[in-house]
Chains A and B, each alone.
Chain A
Amino acid sequence: MSATGTCEYQPKDYKSDLKPIWCPGCGDFSVVQGIYRALAAIGRPPHEIAFVSGIGCSSRIPGYTTAYGFNSVHGRALPIAQGIKLANPDLLVLAAGGDGDGFSIGGGHIAHLIRRNMDITYIVMDNQIYGLTKGQLSPTSQKGRTTCTSRYGSLEEPVNPLLYVLAYGAGFVAQASPTDLVGMAATIEEAIRYPGFAFVNIQSPCVTYGEEAQQIKGLKAISESLQSLGHNPADRLAAMDLAQQYGNKLHLGVFYRNPEPPPTYGDLVKERQTLLSKDAPPKERILDLFIKK
């Protein structure tokens, strides 16, 4: 408790007793630390936070926090998170998963959360591989990438997660990496504070199946802070221009933050409810509407 009587949270308050079973050296160890720090900075108690994930190594992450967690179905983190947010708008809702979970199996869901401007922060731990199933091509794997199931190299162009969400009109788009935990925590915090759908792509290396260039040393060599480039996060077209360098450059920080965020879906639902509630029957009489007299 602080001198002003408000409760102050420390990162350790968001850390659960469950020990992560990721491979030692995995980038996700840093990501979960970044999330602890961001949540402590936000200062909401763990019981006011819902953390939903899909399936994959990174989707284990809600279990390592003290927030309410749901390690759900492959690719379905976002619709479940959306349902939770609509059912209890006061909750701070986070969704997380890997690049396969988000951009392959669950790829169709992102567009709809963006167009509704659901007030959810979506963190993707992008390692360009399906690690949990022992290293197959994922939607963000580079063209030509060889794996145990693609001996002659991938024939496909990778999905560009940053361009993907920017093109759909996401109001907050950022990228972070375990090469800079302090920056990562600040970026996640900013994403959570954004009133609407916020997307953070985190380049989180897979130490077991990832390529050498995608490990921490390789990422450091290509990383560049957007702030140091003088990028204006209110400039969406400049953000799209920079996002095209995904895979070649690792730009860290906020690509785009809508300076005039539109109302969230939750706001619109509340407005509609207020409008219609004048003529609505009392809750206890609602069943009467369905029973023919």
Chain B
Amino acid sequence: MAIQGIDFAKLSLMDALDLAILVEDEAQERYEEFAAQMDQHRTPQAAQFFRYMVENEAKHGRELLARRVQRFGDAPRSVTRAMIFDVEAPDYDAARAFMSPRKAMEAALASEVKAHSFFVSALPSLKDAEVRALFEELRDEEIEHQELVKIELAKLPPDSGLSDEDFVDEPAAQ
């Protein structure tokens, strides 16, 4: 997770909303990429779960965007995607060929925990009361998102104890 060029002490509500939208956008795109990777590698169940996460991130992004437009219209954005990396998006190396739905959900859960940590760690630097309230709200929502993933995890049959690696062919000399 990385943030570059953002001074949280000077963060305005509009910038904070834009930042939150970008965080959701990045996560949505990453899950789309992961779903496509799973399709490529014939792992449909993990792909299906990642698409579920795409919908969740998109829904949350739309809600934030609506609030931004209602409050600030189409005022130019000063926060850009180049300033953030892997805030709520799962790390690229979290994906694996032939990953089970359980592993996919665990990757998503780790991302929600990571996003929660981001909002928690930013809170002490915030000066603006409205920004602080927004970050507290987003922090709490990350807990809700974690619960959503945990519900999906609980629906799975018990873990067989086998690793995904057990189903992958051994590397062979050509």
Q: A residues bordering B, Cβ < 8 Å?
A: 10-11, 19-21, 23-27, 29-30, 37, 40-41, 133-136, 148-149, 178, 180-182, 185, 205, 207-209, 215-216
Contact = CB atoms under 8 A, between A and B. Distances in A.
Contact of B2 (A27, A136, A182, A216): A182
B64 interface: no
B92 A29 contact: yes
Interface string B131-174: 00000000000000000000000000000000000000001111
A182 B96 contact: no
A148 B96 contact: no
Given A23-B97, A29-B33, A209-B171, A182 B85 contact: yes
B171 A19 contact: no
The interface size bin for chain B is 20 to 34
A98 to B, nearest CB: 16
A19 B36 contact: yes
Chain A contact residues: over half helix, strand or loop, or mixed?
loop
Interface of B: 2, 4, 33-34, 36-38, 40-41, 81-82, 85-86, 91-97, 99, 171-174
A291 to B, nearest CB: 53
7 contacts: A19-B40, A21-B40, A24-B97, A25-B97, A40-B82, A178-B92, A205-B93
Contacts of B174: 133-134
Given A27-B93, A30-B92, A216-B93, 19 more contacts: A11-B81, A19-B40, A23-B41, A23-B97, A24-B34, A24-B96, A25-B92, A25-B94, A25-B97, A29-B92, A40-B82, A41-B82, A134-B172, A148-B171, A149-B173, A181-B2, A209-B171, A215-B93, A216-B91
Contact of A24 (B41, B81, B82, B173): B41
Contacts of A19: 36, 40
Contact of B92 (A11, A21, A27): A27
Contact of B95 (A25, A134, A180): A25
Contacts of A21: 40
A185 B84 CA distance: 12
A24 B91 contact: no
Given A24-B97, A37-B82, A134 B173 contact: yes
Given A134-B171, A148-B171, A209-B171, A182 B38 contact: no
Contacts of A40: 82
Contacts of B82: 11, 37, 40-41, 182, 185
A180 B2 CA distance: 8
A182 B41 contact: no
Contacts of A23: 41, 97
